[in-house]
Amino acid sequence: MSSRTTHRLAALLATSMFTGLAAPALAQTALDEVVVTAQKRSENLQDVPVSVQALGAERLDELQVTDMADYARFLPNVTIQTAAPGFSTIYMRGVASGENNNHSGPLPSVAVYLDEQPVTTITGPLDIHVYDIERVEVLSGPQGTLYGASAQAGTIRIITKKPSPAGFEAGYDLDLNKFSHSDVGYGFEGFVNQPVGELAAVRLVAWAEHDGGYIDNVPGTLTYPIGIPPDNLGPVTVNNNSLVEDDYNEVDIYGARAALKIDLNENWSIMPTLNAQRTEADGNFSYDPGKGDLKVSRYRPERSDDKWVQAALTIEGAVSDLDLVYAGALMKRWVDTESDYSDYSYFYDTLAGYGVYWLDNAGNPHDITQYIQGKDAYKKQSHEFRVSTPVDRPLRVTMGAFYQRQTHNIQQRYKIDALADDLEVPGWPDTIWLTKQLRVDRDYAAFMDASFDVSEKFSLNAGIRFFKAKNSLQGFFGFGEGYSGGTGVAACFKDTAIVKGGPCTNVDKTTEDNGNTYRLNAQYEIDDDRMIYVTYSTGYRPGGINRRGTLPPYESDYLKNLEFGWKTMWLENRLRWNGAAYLENWDDFQFSFLGANGLTEIRNAGKAKMLGIESDLSWAVTDGLTINAAGAYTDAELDEDYAPDPDAPPEAEKGTSLPVTSEVPRLADRALRVGRRRHGRPPAGRRGPHGLLVAGPADLRS
């Protein structure tokens, strides 16, 4: 059960109050107009020739949406995989090839924006707490013309409520919840809007919540048959008695947002904002059916500490009849993790024979259970400047320039306690494998989008984006020279470390690409309440580096989309029915898989196609009763055989379904897949080597 209390305080201007009292009291049975900024200008949702779903402030509150996992449940064209809080991968329209979130793997295919600024880091988007939000917009299909590289399959935009000088307003929400098989959860959220004179206002928002755990860590043992034949020294049996605990995967989230909006005059305004959030999670978010429902046996402490801060600035103004916008942001993110790697220790190091070499300095067998300590530091800056002509002209043009640079400093230590000194990575005690790398992704672009009203009913739209991408990877990865004579330290071509902390350098690569994406659209208004459109659009995702030296870089992949859509209102604006049918072709798509030594490899795999239809409906039945419904059908499959070796049978045949997205997503499936609070169940996903059901594919050597 869940209990939620909301309190709001408001002091409005007297003129506004008197205006409200003077108006006649009429029952409002028509649907409210939904204003979106999907095309980077304010428009009625029904006039936008793009497949857009929008969850407004009132609906977000009614649905008790607080994070990405929550709003994804109500968007059937969006699929989300969550390995743990803050570590999610988003897919749209079935555009998925089994990505495993490897640090040097493909960029995301869905862009996430907070207001005007992108917040998609290299391995995935920020999981922003949803409170005091004006709306969430979801743009389906390629949005590369206006939103760039990671908008290949679609874009999600989180639009915050802005400071208002109209009057003081404040409110807070309290939440207390308890679900079956879980501990108690609770939370607080609050906001204050304070005018500063007649032309400025500040808005402060804060939240703190505790999610109760629902996974039990139950007693278990592992036996390692350690020792090099014929002098076998094992076996060694270990247990997890010190870590046994019920409901041990708790989550705490803290955050705040501050925005100051200053109207310099009638034409110009400036708004700096500061956002920060911290997510601390304990335990594991998978379970082992062999242990029982929502039970697992883990042998090392597991946790994550995800902190990020973003400073953003938006300047809006007008020169003559041109609207100008600058949007810039600097974001930093720090992620500390500790993970149990006992599955790998047991099934790979032991049963495959490699664990016989993991001894202590005296040559004795011991507990060889591996665990991972990770420290990841992200830094991202983005800048966009654009100019738009008036929206009430027959010809409407938006053009601009964009620059983005994001870095990811990667540190991953795979450790065994009391490991022999000669088996360690030099300078890193008890570390059998080290990843110490710096990845830099750069994006430069210029874009233009134009709409022309041929007649009162017929309009044409065209857009193009020219881009240049440059991605690099430097540093070290691998074993110490005492364990491997051909990889890791043994494969270094520089004795010095390019990335501080590494023992030497065995990867230093850069790849570049340039090209364009475009959109063509025709829109026809049947009447004032109904419109149809046809769109052909493209999207892209930059290529990147395979850190294994013998493999070439992987190239950019492209998505081509042909779409027919409709926007309609019925029953005197009480019924809204929108939808789209589409055919998408995905060329040279980036495919991640585990190669030799459990090391991720990325290749361009060939062609795939996605055929589908999506629709959403809102019906104001009576005053106070509105029914909302949405559905999607997606058929995503390979469009040619995947045969990396022409002399061998195909590894996957034409017609094979792409992973992750089912043909008809079900709400219940989404709740299971997410595995976060309110759902009372962990994620459903692939079965790991120890029988664990996990949220998404795991990289063995990241």
How would you class 439 by CB atoms within 10 Å of its CB: exposed for 0-12, middle for 13-18, buried for 19 or more? buried
CB 416 within 8 A of CB 432: yes
Give the start-to-end residue ranges of the domains of the chain. 2-674
CB 305 within 8 A of CB 278: yes
Q: What is the pLDDT of residue 597?
A: 66
Q: What angle do CA 322, 327, 328 make, to 5 degrees?
A: 150
> What whole-number distance in Å separates Cα of residue 225 and Cα of residue 64?
51
In order, the DSSP letters of 551-566 are SPPBPPEEEEEEEEEE
Instruction: Quote the percentage of the chain above a pLDDT of 70.
Output: 87
> What whole-number distance in Å separates Cα of residue 212 and Cα of residue 676?
10
In CATH terms, is domain 2-674 a member of 2.40.37.10?
no
Q: What is the pLDDT of residue 678?
A: 29
Whether a cis peptide bond, with omega within 30° of 0, leads into 230 is yes
**Residue 2's pLDDT band (boundaries 50, 70, 90)?**
low
- 3-class DSSP state of 695: coil
Phi first, then psi, for residue 694 (nearest 5°) are -115, 160
Q: What is the mean pLDDT of residues 169-173?
A: 96
Q: Taking the CA of residue 175 as centre, how many other CA atoms within 13 Å lie in the half-sphere pointing to its CB?
A: 23
pLDDT in tens, 339-384: 999 888 787 766 666 677 788 888 877 888 999 999 999 999 999 9
Phi first, then psi, for residue 326 (nearest 5°) are -115, 130
pLDDT in tens, 438-461: 999 999 999 999 999 999 999 999
> What whole-number distance in Å separates Cα of residue 532 and Cα of residue 563?
11
Q: What is the pLDDT of residue 646?
A: 76
Phi first, then psi, for residue 669 (nearest 5°) are -60, -40
> What whole-number distance in Å separates Cα of residue 581 and Cα of residue 498?
50
Q: What is the mean pLDDT of residues 494-523?
A: 95
Tokens of 477: 């990865």
**Residue 74's pLDDT band (boundaries 50, 70, 90)?**
confident
Q: Taking the CA of residue 579 as centre, how many other CA atoms within 13 Å lie in the half-sphere pointing to its CB?
A: 14
* Position 191 pLDDT exceeds 90: yes
Q: What is the pLDDT of residue 686?
A: 28
**pTM value surpassing 0.85:** yes
> What whole-number distance in Å separates Cα of residue 260 and Cα of residue 12?
19
CB 620 within 8 A of CB 29: yes
pLDDT in tens, 224-277: 776 555 555 667 889 999 999 999 999 999 999 999 999 999 999 999 999 999
Q: What is the mean pLDDT of residues 498-526?
A: 96
Of 521-525, 582-586, 642-646, least confident by mean pLDDT is 642-646
Tokens of 435: 């990843």
> What whole-number distance in Å separates Cα of residue 672 and Cα of residue 684?
6
Q: What is the pLDDT of residue 668?
A: 31
* Position 198 pLDDT exceeds 70: yes
**Residue 1's pLDDT band (boundaries 50, 70, 90)?**
low
For residue 120, give every residue at least 6 positions away whose Cβ sits within 8 Å of its Cβ, in sequence order, or none.
107, 108, 110, 111, 112, 126, 150
- 3-class DSSP state of 420: coil
For residue 32, give every residue at least 6 positions away whose Cβ sits within 8 Å of its Cβ, in sequence order, or none.
56
Query: For all residues of the chain together, what is the average pLDDT?
Result: 86
Q: Taking the CA of residue 456 as centre, how many other CA atoms within 13 Å lie in the half-sphere pointing to its CB?
A: 3
In order, the DSSP letters of 262-290 are EE-SSS-EEEEEEEEEEEEEES-S-B-TT
* Position 130 pLDDT exceeds 70: yes
* Position 695 pLDDT exceeds 50: no
Q: What is the pLDDT of residue 18?
A: 31
In order, the DSSP letters of 92-141 are ETT--------TTSPPPSEEEEETTEE-EETTEE------SEEEEEEEES
Q: What is the mean pLDDT of residues 74-84?
A: 84
> What whole-number distance in Å separates Cα of residue 194 and Cα of residue 192?
6
- 3-class DSSP state of 521: strand
**Residue 99's pLDDT band (boundaries 50, 70, 90)?**
low
pLDDT in tens, 282-323: 998 888 999 999 999 999 999 999 999 999 999 999 999 999
* Position 7 pLDDT exceeds 70: no
**Per residue, what are the HEC states of 139-197?**
EECCCHHHHCCCCCCEEEEEEECCCCCCCEEEEEEEEEECCCCCCCEEEEEEEEEEECC
* Position 676 pLDDT exceeds 80: no
pLDDT in tens, 385-423: 999 999 889 999 999 999 999 999 999 999 999 999 999
Q: What is the pLDDT of residue 324?
A: 97
Q: What is the mean pLDDT of residues 475-502?
A: 93
CB 140 within 8 A of CB 565: no
pLDDT in tens, 148-166: 888 999 999 999 999 999 9
* Position 660 pLDDT exceeds 90: no
Q: Which secondary-structure segment (H or E) carries 15? A: helix 14-22
Q: What is the pLDDT of residue 102?
A: 75
Report which of 580, 579, 535, 540 is spatially closest to residue 561, judged by C-alpha positions: 535
CB 605 within 8 A of CB 646: no
* Position 3 pLDDT exceeds 80: no
Q: Which secondary-structure segment (H or E) carries 29? A: none
CB 546 within 8 A of CB 527: no
- Unique residue bearing structure tokens 């475009």: 518
